[in-house]
Chains A and B, each alone.
Chain A
Amino acid sequence: MTRRALSRITLLAVLLIMASVPLSASQFMVQPFDQVARDSRFIVRGQVVDTYSAWDEAREVIFTYATIRVQRYFGETTGPDTLVVREVGGTVDGYTQEAVGFPAIRRGEQVVLFLSNWEDSTDLRIHAYNQGKFLVKHRGNLEVVVEDPVKQGEERLASPNGGRFHVEGNAEGVALTIDELATMIEDARAGNPTRFSREMH
């Protein structure tokens, strides 16, 4: 076994431990990674190039619509260069509605998103809540993915022009490289045991 392989196993093991909490975030059940990957319609790496928020027709829920410029589709799926993702929460005319603990989506972010359809429409949403959103960071020459440390209702600072947020918090924790994540996704969506599962279960 090479040192590189051991390093990879270590990272995956840490990710497994982090994901093994039976119920996490505000009130979410944590799902196995391969299930999240399998059940997602699209898994993309891209940039949030625009967001806007609006009430629904019944004026009960504020949704934020995020335009994602897709740079890469993971797994066997492919799709358009641009996707629009609809998420609960946002600000309209100074009134902010938040779903506490739900994933937030902010203009300018580099992200990997696991996406599925809303139950009542063909609109896309982040699949499995916070398990379906990662931030892309650079560490040296590598692109790595980390969990977004800032969910709705958590620490953030609004910019003077509104609508854009400066993320506070530690995003430098345990990370996988994009290629490692891609391999895990491909394994999961192909119905094969992931290396993640093979090593630790």
Chain B
Amino acid sequence: MNRKSIISLAFATIFVIAAAEPALAYVLLSPRRRWSTTPITVRVYTTGNSTITDGSGGVNATVSAIRAWGIISSSTTTSAAVRGSAPATIMLNTNGGVCTGSCLAATLTGYYTTQTGDDRIYDADVYTNTAVQMYSSGESGCSSEYDINGIMVHEVGHVIGIGHSNVSGATMYPSISACNTSARTLASDDIAARDDLY
């Protein structure tokens, strides 16, 4: 095999790998677990994110956005998240001491493992890296910012017990770029995951 052939083969391999679409669909958190009742109460702490200039720091936008799941009862709260205790609380104003550096947002979820395999989620709280520039649906324009609506719809997917999907375009797909709002809208794969659990 000559050098030109080797180079061609190398690049062909790269592009095949890069273009390969995983066959797997949605994934539930493991062990499988869910909240005991629906609708699931999720509160958004009233102190918003200082990088979001929509008047509420993204709080109102988040309250609305996470209802996309259809099984969420959302509202604001003046009580900060208490880890280990329901209700699920979204904190837009703090990293919780765990989401720094390259982390955008983090969901801390808690559960007891049962012998029956019917595990219940007891709490799930979401924290936000306040060092990262965010924007919401309440703002016009975007410049290298990350969409708080889509991020929180994704995080609430984790709150209700869903992991990452390999379906490109799904809200639970594990990647999104700045100024991309596609995660705001559930894909059929996300809905299938929700309906599997509830």
A61 and B30 contact, Cβ closer than 8 Å, known pairs A17-B17, A29-B104, A154-B163: no
A31 and B106 contact, Cβ closer than 8 Å, known pairs A21-B175, A23-B176, A26-B164: no
B84 A100 Cβ-Cβ under 8 A: no
A196 to B: closest C-beta gap in Å: 14
A128 and B101 contact, Cβ closer than 8 Å, known pairs A10-B14, A27-B151, A97-B83: yes
Q: State the CA gap A171–B73 with chains docked (Å).
A: 39
Q: State the CA gap A28–B101 with chains docked (Å).
A: 9
A27 and B112 contact, Cβ closer than 8 Å, known pairs A61-B97, A61-B98, A156-B30: no
Q: State the CA gap A21–B133 with chains docked (Å).
A: 18
Q: Give chain A residues whose Cβ lies under 8 Å from the Cβ of B109.
A: 97-98, 100, 153
A100 B29 Cβ-Cβ under 8 A: yes
Q: How many residues of A contact B (CB 8 A)?
A: 46
A100 B107 Cβ-Cβ under 8 A: yes
Q: Confirm or deny: B113 has a beta carbon within 8 angstroms of a beta carbon on chain A.
A: yes
Closest to A25 in B: B174
> Of A24, A97, A131, which contacts B108 at CB under 8 A?
A97
Q: Which of B3-11, B41-49, B63-71 contacts A (4 or more CB under 8 A)?
A: B3-11
Q: Which of B127-146 contact A (CB under 8 A)?
A: 132, 146
Q: Give chain B residues whose Cβ lies under 8 Å from the Cβ of A89.
A: 108
Q: Confirm or deny: A182 has a beta carbon within 8 angstroms of a beta carbon on chain B.
A: no
> Of A13, A102, A158, which contacts B106 at CB under 8 A?
A102
A96 and B112 contact, Cβ closer than 8 Å, known pairs A26-B107, A29-B102, A60-B84: yes
Residue of A24, A31, A59 most packed against chain B (CB within 10 A): A24
B102 A129 Cβ-Cβ under 8 A: yes
A101 B14 Cβ-Cβ under 8 A: no
B155 A27 Cβ-Cβ under 8 A: yes
B174 A153 Cβ-Cβ under 8 A: no
Q: Which of A157-171 contact B (CB under 8 A)?
A: 158
> Of B82, B101, B146, B158, which contacts A23 at CB under 8 A?
B146
Q: State the CA gap A191–B17 with chains docked (Å).
A: 30
A101 and B7 contact, Cβ closer than 8 Å, known pairs A27-B151, A29-B102: no
A32 to B: closest C-beta gap in Å: 11
B10 A26 Cβ-Cβ under 8 A: no
Q: Which of A23-42 contact B (CB under 8 A)?
A: 23-31
Q: State the CA gap A27–B106 with chains docked (Å).
A: 7
B97 A153 Cβ-Cβ under 8 A: no
Contact with A along B158-177 (1 / 0, CB 8 A): 10000110000000001111
Q: Confirm or deny: A181 has a beta carbon within 8 angstroms of a beta carbon on chain B.
A: no
A99 and B10 contact, Cβ closer than 8 Å, known pairs A22-B178, A26-B158, A153-B30: no
B97 A14 Cβ-Cβ under 8 A: no
Q: State the CA gap A14–B17 with chains docked (Å).
A: 8
B18 A61 Cβ-Cβ under 8 A: no
> Of B6, B100, B151, B175, which contacts A24 at CB under 8 A?
B175
Q: Give chain B residues whose Cβ lies under 8 Å from the Cβ of A30.
A: 102
B83 A23 Cβ-Cβ under 8 A: no
B110 A155 Cβ-Cβ under 8 A: no
A65 to B: closest C-beta gap in Å: 15
Chain B residues in the interface with A (C-beta under 8 A): 3, 6-7, 10, 13-14, 17-18, 27, 29-30, 82-84, 96-113, 122, 132, 146, 151, 154-155, 158, 163-164, 174-178
Query: 8 smallest A-B Cβ distances: which pairs?
Result: A27-B104, A27-B105, A22-B177, A10-B10, A60-B83, A100-B158, A29-B102, A153-B29
